[in-house]
Structure formats: C-alpha cells, structure tokens
Amino acid sequence: MAERPTLKAFARSRRRPVRRDVKPLSRVRLFLDEWITWRFAARVDRTAAMQRAIAAERASFEALDDAELRALFDKPLRAEDLMDAAKGAERFCAVLEVFRRETGLRLRENQIECALRLLSGTCVELRTGEGKTLAAGMAAIAAASVGVSVHVVTVNDYLAARDHELIAPMARFIGVSTAVMQQDDKDDDRRTGYDHDIVYGTNKVVVFDHLRDRREQRTLGDSHRPRQTGQALAIIDEADSVLIDDATVPMILSEPSKPPPPVDMALFRHLVAFASALQEGAERERDKHGSWRLTPRGLAALKREAASWRHPLARTSDIIGLAETALMACYGFLNGVAYIVQDDEVVMIDQATGRLMPDRKWDYGLQQMVELVAGVPPSDETRTVGQITQQTYFRQYRILSGLTGTAKECRGEFWAIYGLAVWAVAPHARSQLKGNPLRVFRTQAQKWDAVARRAIDIAETRAVLIGLNDVAESAALQATFAELGREVAVLDALTEAQEAELVARAGQQGAITIATHLAGRGTDIGLAPEVRAAGGLHVIIASVMPSGRLERQLYGRAGRQGDPGSYDTMISLQDRGLVEGAFSLARHVATSLLRLGAFPARSLSQIQADRDRRSRAMRRQTLLREQDMVKRLGYR
C-alpha cells in the first residue's frame, strides 16, 4: 500500500530541487494493485472532520473586515498541520471568505470536499460543470499560504491562462504569488515563473522544461541555471487524460540535425510506392495489436522489389521493418485522423484531446514517409537530446493529486502506478440527464443522414452538440449537413483558434455544434434560458468511442449542475472503432452480436472494455520497458 502523503513546506531550490525518488514497480506489484488492493485504497474518509469544522465556522468570518481577514494569514501554521481540523480549519475558512469577497461566489460543500481531498493526495472524480477550477484554486491557495510550492497542471495554454486569471486575485489578497507558463514563453520568463508560489501551466510545458534542465545540466554543469525549482505538490486537471491516455507517450526533446540524405529519401519513396500498391488481405494485414504487417506474399513481393533499390539496407532484414513502417504511413496514420496538413507541414493530432501538436514529430523515416504520403516537403532529421514519459515525470512529485469528471474506469491503474486513490464527490444537484437507446446503422452514409436530421429537428427549440472522433468524420458529417442546406459550427483541430467563440454560441437556441474530443477543452456550454426551458442541451455521440469513459465525457456536457439535458448514441457498422484495431475473441463475438442486432448496448460496451484492457496492457508494458531502460542505460 502507498503511504499517505503529508504536506510539507519544502524550500524551492534550483541547486537541490525537491523530488521524490521513483521506485521501480514489479509485474507482481502492478498486478496486485491494479486488480485487488485499489479496492481498499479509499475506504477511510480522512477529510470528514475538517469538513464539519469548516461548516461550523465559515459563517463567522463574513463579519471580519479586509484587514482582519488578511491578518489571519499572518498567523504561523505548519504545512503539516493544515489538514488537522483543530489547527487548519481557520485557514480554510479564511480562504473561503476571500473567494466569496473576490468572486461573489460561495463555494459549495462538494467543492470544499474536492479541495480537501486534493490536498490529501487523491484523484477526485467530480462531474463536469461542478466547479472544479475553483476547487483546485482553493486547494492551491490554502497549500501555498503555508509555504507549499504548487504546480496546477492543465492540458492546454488556454485553460492555464483562464484558470490563473480566475485565481490570481484571491492569491494577491493574501500575499501569495502566482504565475502562468505558456508554451511560447522565453527561458528567463520561465525561470521567473517557477519562483512563484503557485504556477499554472500545461503538462507539456512542465515536462519539457524538466527535459531542458536535464539536458543543460549535462552539457553546462554547475554553470547551468535551471528553470524548475522542485516538484512538491501537483494538482492535475483532466487527470485521466494526462496520467492515463498520455501516460506512456514519450515526451521527446529533440533538435534539428540535417536534411535527410538523398539516398534515404529515394528509399523512402520506393517504400511508400511499394506499400501503396499492396493488396489488403493478400499482401498486407493487421496483427493482433492493430498494426499493419506484411503477409508471406507481401514479404516475397518486397524481396523482388528491394533487389533494385540502391540503399545499404535494401538487402538486409532491416528492410522488412522499414516496409511495415511505410504501411503505417500509408494506412495507419490517416490525414484528418492522426494529422492534418497546415502551411505545407504535417501537424500531428493528439489522439486523447483532438488538439494539434506542432512541436511533435514521429521517428526519422516514419515522419518523412508520412510527409511523402501527404505530399509535403520532407522535414529535416532530428536528434533526440532528452526523453521521458509523463507517468515517470509526475510520479516524481512529493504529493500528486488529480481532478477529472471521469476516473472510476481507471481506479486500478491510478492506484497501481501513482498511488492515487479515486474518490467520487457527489454533484450538488440531482442529475436530470436522460439517455436514449443506442441506434445502429448498417452504413456510415445512413448514420450521417440520421444524425443530421435528428440534430436539425431537435435544434428547432434546443441546442445540439455532436461528438465525433476525428477531423475526417467531422468533414463527412459537415458535408451531410450542407446537402440538407444547414450550416453548423465545427470545433476540431482545424478550428482551435475560434474555440472560445464557438463554445459561447453552442448553447443558443438553434445551434448545432460538431466537436471532436471535447474532453479536456475545459469549456462550459452556457445555456440560453429558452434552451433550458425546452429541455437543455442535447448531445449526439455519433462515433464508436474508444472507451466508455470518453462517452461519459461527451454526454456529461449536457445536464450540468442540475440542468435538464439528453443524449443519443448513434453508430454504424462501418465506423472505424468497429472495423479497425486489434481483435480478440471477445471482441469478435461482441461485434458479431452487434451486426445481428442482439444486445447492442451490451455488445458495444464489451468492445470498448476489450480495447480498454488492451490499452492498459500496452501502458503496463511500456512502463516496465522504460524502467528496464533506466536501469540498464540510464535512459531519461
């Protein structure tokens, strides 16, 4: 069992930054924690006494003037005593009163509970729309007021800036310093930023700053002045996105090297042409993990073709791996799904959030072959100078806590890897969200037509949000709406710059908004009064989502804070989530039942559960492999 984390006011230091030693996890330990011990992790409620003390005392603080309220923060209080009801309740009540005066909002009991659990090193599940930003801000300010250095981690620059702007006035009131880190900040601004008590920033910003510090420490030695000052307490918003979906994606710090040699580019062109001509089933097929492989006939064809290629690797066994890389470039990484072309460059799409990743590239060879398929100029070679996964980085924090609307599906994994118990905090109002039965169509064309007509009908009196997986599906549905003479708003990787404007209009009567991967965007859809009166926001899930958790994130956009709302799930038997990817026996059976129309909802849940199991297994393998590389090679 993981030890209970204790708040401590570690001094910020660039010469000796505080971090927790990351102990390797064994296969046996991972298995036991993921399947058994997590069930006992969150049985004891360690915040109940504090909640009662706050409820009893908070009203009396409203009578204090500003000077008296500020004076309460001058009273000495050890960080270790903040969570003691007898010693720390006054501090939390004072923070709550500051929030009330600066925002005009009185934080609800479930927000207070959420903040207390965050400071106890817990992953809190709180429904979308329940005020997670203020709860995280309350936890951060309370911790910073007793000398704890806090990093509040979000998934994009917009959210980091928005959340910081909301919390900064309360922090200033009590003399706590805050900063927000953006991806395009200069190094001097980064160093200044990390000197503040509370730092807001994205997961990618803090991880890459860590990698830059490590690289410069190796090259410059003692003359290097790091950016970061330690890893004491992290509060991670959208924790399932950061700590689960993106957990094992290598964060690679690289620098441009040189243009690809002409002989390499010639080989890449041969490989792309060869892969493009192969027949599916006869010469190329998917393996059990969903990757494209050459069949025996394909291998024979490769041997014949490669005999005429002038490259040192053409007549070695390495050519097989390169040919299968070309298969992935042609058939695995699709335009509008894995990437888009922007300003004559291939820009990757984050599969967890649907956002663009302009600073990320695939490995040498795959990157250039994808560019050949996309018809853009090949990029230079890159040299890797630092690498780490997010799960390794965030496990280094002395105290780690998380916040998300969808955590229960990942309870075992959170506990096994991070020692994070998951605790669900109840919403403040009973949900009025209504779900309709799953509808299954034989073709995508039939589904798109039904989705568009359903959305147009409901939008007569309400607002409609349609959730999809990728840009390609978004374009197909948008074309269907155009055929019906209806314009719609589209929120995907191609329209990120208009995100705030699109979301602001999404709750108006008659609005139809198509969105890909809305999870992690952190944007509330405000309802017009007439929409709320007519039944609220209606969500249509129009793709086979990779997991039930992503479905919950989507339909959770409706029925927020006790508002009325409803949702449909409409899929087709041609959806990529059904016809692509690795197939197990269980998935074969569930897909067959779905095609026969038997137990559709249960069959879809089984398919998603099977994909979840495989994803967990892959993340577990990546973790163990990374640990092995650290042990043998000092890989970090």
**Is there a single domain that holds both residue 271 and residue 191?**
no
Among candidate residues 352, 380, 408, the one where a domain is terminated? 380
Q: Is the pLDDT of residue 195 over 90?
A: yes
**Is there a single domain that holds both residue 371 and residue 403?**
no
pLDDT of residue 356: 78
Which residue type does 496 have? E
- For residues 153 and 234, the answer to whether their CB atoms sit within 8 Å is yes
pLDDT of residue 636: 47
| R_g of the chain computed on alpha carbons | 26
**Is there a single domain that holds both residue 437 and residue 480?**
yes
Q: What band does 219 get if pLDDT is binned at 50, 70 and 90?
A: confident
Helix (H) or strand (E) holding 382: strand 382-389
Cα-Cα end-to-end distance for the chain: 26
pLDDT of residue 170: 97
Q: Is the pLDDT of residue 1 over 50?
A: no
Q: Is residue 67 part of a domain?
A: no
Domain with residue 419: its CATH number is 3.40.50.300
Among candidate residues 318, 347, 380, the one where a domain is terminated? 380
Backbone angles phi, psi at 467, to 5 degrees: -100, 130
* CA angle at 269 for the pair 265 and 275, rounded to the nearest 5°: 140
**Is there a single domain that holds both residue 447 and residue 571?**
yes
**Is there a single domain that holds both residue 211 and residue 299?**
no
Q: How far, in Å, are 210, 226, 231 from residue 191 at the CA level?
A: 12, 7, 14
Q: What band does 493 get if pLDDT is binned at 50, 70 and 90?
A: low
Q: How far, in Å, are 217, 228, 566 from residue 15 at the CA level?
A: 11, 10, 54
Structure tokens, 194: 């990390």
Q: How far, in Å, are 127, 279, 555 from residue 434 at the CA level?
A: 15, 46, 10
CB atoms near residue 61 (< 10 Å): 18
**Is there a single domain that holds both residue 164 and residue 32?**
yes
**Is there a single domain that holds both residue 123 and residue 199?**
yes
Mean pLDDT computed over 134-157: 96
pLDDT in tens, 342-384: 999 999 987 666 677 877 788 889 999 999 999 999 998 888 8
pLDDT of residue 472: 85
Lowest model confidence (mean pLDDT) among 266-270, 278-282, 354-358, 418-422: 354-358
pLDDT of residue 470: 83
- Candidate ranges 211-225, 262-276, 330-344; pick with highest mean pLDDT: 262-276
Q: What band does 385 get if pLDDT is binned at 50, 70 and 90?
A: confident
pLDDT in tens, 436-476: 999 999 999 999 999 999 999 999 999 999 999 888 898 89
Q: Is residue 10 part of a domain?
A: no
Helices within 293-343 (DSSP H only): 296-306, 318-327
pLDDT above 90 coverage of the chain, percent: 63
Give the 3-state secondary structure of residue 383. strand
Q: Is the pLDDT of residue 522 over 60?
A: no
The whole-model pTM stands at: 0.88
Q: Is the pLDDT of residue 60 over 70?
A: yes
Paired sense of beta strands 512-516 and 399-404, if any: unpaired
pLDDT in tens, 573-582: 999 888 876 6
Domain with residue 310: its CATH number is 3.90.1440.10
Mean pLDDT, all residues of the chain? 90
Residue with tokens 């204790």: 6
Mean pLDDT computed over 411-439: 93
Q: Is residue 21 part of a domain?
A: no
Q: What band does 97 get if pLDDT is binned at 50, 70 and 90?
A: very high
pLDDT of residue 158: 83
Q: Is residue 22 part of a domain?
A: no
**Where is pLDDT greater, at 21 or 272?**
272
Q: Is residue 608 part of a domain?
A: no
CA atoms within 13 A on the CB side of 459: 24
Q: What band does 191 get if pLDDT is binned at 50, 70 and 90?
A: very high
Q: Is the pLDDT of residue 193 over 70?
A: yes
pLDDT of residue 626: 79
Give the 3-state secondary structure of residue 509. coil
- Candidate ranges 117-131, 286-300, 500-514; pick with highest mean pLDDT: 117-131
Lowest model confidence (mean pLDDT) among 232-236, 266-270, 356-360: 356-360
**Is there a single domain that holds both residue 323 and residue 406?**
no
Per the structure, the count of domains in the chain is 3
**Is there a single domain that holds both residue 373 and residue 421?**
no
Mean pLDDT computed over 268-297: 91
Q: Is residue 89 part of a domain?
A: no
Q: Is the pLDDT of residue 635 over 70?
A: no
Q: Is residue 287 part of a domain?
A: yes
**Where is pLDDT greater, at 144 or 219?**
144
Q: What band does 192 get if pLDDT is binned at 50, 70 and 90?
A: very high
Q: What band does 630 get if pLDDT is binned at 50, 70 and 90?
A: low
**Is there a single domain that holds both residue 399 and residue 464?**
no
**Is there a single domain that holds both residue 248 and residue 262?**
no
**Domain residue limits at 530:** 432-580
pLDDT in tens, 540-575: 999 999 888 888 888 988 998 889 999 999 999 999
- For residues 552 and 480, the answer to whether their CB atoms sit within 8 Å is no
Structure tokens, 81: 């005593």
Mean pLDDT computed over 207-232: 90
Q: Is residue 290 part of a domain?
A: yes
pLDDT in tens, 590-599: 888 888 888 8
pLDDT of residue 248: 82
Among candidate residues 425, 450, 478, the one where a domain is terminated? 425
**Is there a single domain that holds both residue 120 and residue 148?**
yes
Helices then strands (H, E): number in the chain?
A: 24, 21
pLDDT of residue 519: 46
Lowest model confidence (mean pLDDT) among 157-166, 453-462, 486-495, 604-613: 486-495
Q: Is the pLDDT of residue 633 over 60?
A: no
Lowest model confidence (mean pLDDT) among 179-193, 212-226, 320-334, 342-356: 342-356
